[in-house]
Amino acid sequence: MEFKHLPVMLNEVIDGLSIKPNGVYVDGTLGGAGHSKEILKRLSKEGHLIGIDRDEEALQAAKENLKEFDNVMYVHGNHDDIKNILQELQIEKVDGILLDLGVSSYQLDERNRGFSYLGENALDMRMDKTQNIDAKFVVNTYKEDELSKIIYEYGEERFSRQIAKNICLYRKNKEIETTKELVEIIEKSIPAFAKKDGHPAKRTFQAIRIEVNNEIKPLYNTVKDSIDVLEQGGRLAIITFHSLEDRAVKNAFLEASGKCTCPSDLPYCVCGAKKVGNIITRKPIVASNKEQEYNSRSKSAKLRIFEKI
């Protein structure tokens, strides 16, 4: 299957990175390489791009899409390990980093990956197919209260308790093996009046995907690590698609900008706030109305940019 992926807020990202022709840039979520291709077009032969992705299929597709460029290094890895990855490449600092978080349209469309709630496929949802934990493991082994919490927090699903309860009841008799089985359980858990706003399984599938791929918990530290490896004047651009993602990015940016987090009644700062850069986007950038019309993935996207000093 061809790896098709419309890059979200492409022009805004490119402008926000303020690309230096001889610079070194990292795309920590390479995907179909839509953003990376535009970055490379602006680099000279002395400039370099490091493309990181957990999905080996994405890396192969990116290599094909970027075959005209010879100043790209491809890394099968996780952007959460950016410090270690750069250390292994013997690169101390970079001029810019892009993180386009969330799942790609290719992964959703390739139904045998188990991301989609359409059809009948094995419960998988792993971005990196070499990892052990998949959606089948989460759905069949997590306790009811754990499932309920994940579905509520990561999926913002108000019927999370009933969904978790019915998952646990179902698996007493039979292991849940396919996306279709899970969808049927979810559909039975949600009242008819609440099924008008999109597919009833959408939020639960999102929540399980986030848990399987550990997309939220390390993000705050990933942002801090990314800022650490920036050159002076280097920029970090992050696109989020979930409120918890955006909150983690916002808070990490605030800390790096030197904002004091001490209680207001303290006479002096004890938190050790240290300014290492500036927030370029006081409010997140969102996609234009025109882009939201032709690229539905952009509707929930928020772009935040930080510059190292």
- The type of residue at 2 is E
The candidate with the shortest Cα–Cα distance to 205, out of 114, 109, 106, 296, is 114
Give me the CATH topology for the region 120-212: DNA polymerase; domain 1 (1.10.150)
The number of beta carbons lying within 10 Å of the beta carbon of residue 162 is 17
Integer Cα distance of 194 and 197 in angstroms = 7
Using an 8 Å Cβ cutoff, are 55 and 47 in contact?
no
**0.85 exceeded by the pTM?**
yes
Q: Where are the alpha helices (DSSP H) in the chain?
A: 10-17, 34-41, 56-65, 82-88, 105-109, 135-141, 144-155, 160-171, 179-189, 202-212, 219-228, 243-256, 289-294
Question: Over the stretch 64-87, which tens digit does the pLDDT of each residue have?
Answer: 999 999 999 999 999 999 999 999
- Which pLDDT does position 266 carry in this prediction? 82
Q: Locate CATH 3.40.50.150 in the chain.
A: 10-102+216-308
Q: Locate CATH 1.10.150.170 in the chain.
A: 120-212
| Residues linked to residue 240 through DSSP beta bridges, in sequence order | 302
Residue bearing tokens 């934990």: 133
Question: CATH for 10-102+216-308, among 1.10.10.1100, 3.90.320.10, 3.40.50.150, 3.40.1280.10?
Answer: 3.40.50.150
Q: Which two tokens stand for residue 190?
A: 């949600």
Integer Cα distance of 125 and 28 in angstroms = 19
| Residues linked to residue 204 through DSSP beta bridges, in sequence order | none
Which residues in the chain come in under a pLDDT of 70? 1-5, 104-111
